[in-house]
Amino acid sequence: MSITIELQPEQQERIATEARKRGLTVEEYLSRAIAGEFPIPPPKRTPAEAVKAWEQEGIVAIWNDIPEDSPELARKLRTGRYRREAS
């Protein structure tokens, strides 16, 4: 069976790089990846891209409501003395 798909240049390079790492042709690599032998790794993000994604997902700034400084908060968390109010 033959399948033709259009890939962006970055995608093509990522696939070719992964195939080379394993000593495979692109065709062999994709065939094995589709069979589930190994995952195709996600593209790497820059730190700025990661922070932006985390902000969009609500991960960054989830502790903005805590008025205490970090060292004191860390001590309370370690000793189990910190209780966060439900929002």
pLDDT digits 0-9 by tens, 23-74 = 999 999 999 988 888 776 677 888 888 888 888 887 776 666 666 667 877 7
How far apart, in whole angstroms, are the C-alpha atoms of residue 85 and residue 87? 6
What type of residue is 79? Answer: T
pTM: 0.44
If we measure between CA atoms, which residue out of 61, 69, 67 comes closest to residue 84? 67
How far apart, in whole angstroms, are the C-alpha atoms of residue 24 and residue 50? 31
Q: What is the pLDDT of residue 75?
A: 78
Q: Left if phi > 0, otherwise alpha if psi is -120 to 50, otherwise beta: which for 17?
A: alpha
